[in-house]
């Protein structure tokens, strides 16, 4: 049996964590099939984000993707106040949840002091030797939500995200 494109998309972010892939796929299937039902089921999570009432479809899909991955510890929301050490630790937590058997070396980002896009470029530079790519989820927010996919799958993940209606930027 061939997995659906939605399940394949989820697997790019969940790695070897098959149970998480199932849960993420189910949650994303709901937001795609019935946005209103999604908003009802996840009303508390949306309220925690300050989102109430009917949301635009694109915003709801993007929040659903991020929240599905956050619920599985497969994404991280950072901001400009986070240190390189905190960012490296968060990415290593994601990699552990994915079952990749990979991790950033201690101090991999220690020499970088910038914030914002420059810091994300440094993160991608640190992930690249591991065969990984950094993903920025396009959420209208003051945070920068991040995930990790295999570099070999990065372009396919980006294309599939667009085809399914999710917004992502792959570094």
Render pLDDT for 85-141 as a digit per residue (tens, 0 to 9).
888 899 999 999 999 889 988 777 776 665 666 778 888 989 999 999 999 998 777
Residue 165, Ramachandran bin (φ over 0: left; ψ between -120 and 50: alpha; else beta): left
Percent share of the chain, pLDDT over 90: 67
The mean pLDDT of 38-67, rounded to a whole number, is: 92
Question: What global pTM score does this model have?
Answer: 0.91
Closest listed residue to residue 164, CA positions, set 45, 51, 57, 37: 57
The Cα–Cα gap between 133 and 129 comes to 10
User: Comparing 29-43, 49-63, 73-87, 113-127, which segment has the lowest mean pLDDT?
Assistant: 113-127
| Chain mean pLDDT for the chain | 90
The mean pLDDT of 16-39, rounded to a whole number, is: 96
The Cα–Cα gap between 19 and 40 comes to 24
Higher per-residue pLDDT: 106 or 84? 84
In angstroms, what CA-CA distances link 60 with 67, 144, 147, 155, 168? 10, 17, 18, 23, 14
Give Cα 48 distance to the centre of its chain.
Answer: 18
The reported pLDDT for the residue numbered 1 is: 39
The reported pLDDT for the residue numbered 106 is: 73
């Amino acid at each position: 049996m061939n997995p659906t494109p939605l399940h394949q998309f989820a697997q790019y972010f969940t790695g070897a964590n098959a149970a998480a892939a199932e849960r993420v796929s189910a949650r994303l299937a709901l937001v795609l099939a019935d946005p209103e039902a999604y908003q009802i089921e996840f009303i508390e999570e949306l309220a925690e984000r300050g989102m109430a009432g009917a949301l635009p479809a694109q915003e709801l899909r993007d929040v659903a993707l991020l929240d599905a991955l956050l619920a599985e510890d497969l994404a991280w929301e950072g901001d400009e106040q986070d240190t390189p050490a905190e960012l490296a630790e968060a990415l290593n937590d994601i990699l552990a949840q994915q079952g990749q058997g990979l991790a950033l070396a201690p101090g991999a980002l220690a020499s970088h002091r910038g914030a914002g896009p420059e810091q994300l470029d440094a993160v991608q530079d640190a992930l690249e030797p591991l065969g990984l790519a950094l993903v920025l989820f396009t959420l209208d927010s003051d945070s920068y939500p991040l995930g990790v996919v295999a570099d070999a799958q990065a372009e396919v993940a980006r294309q599939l995200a667009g085809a399914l209606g999710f917004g992502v930027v792959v570094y």
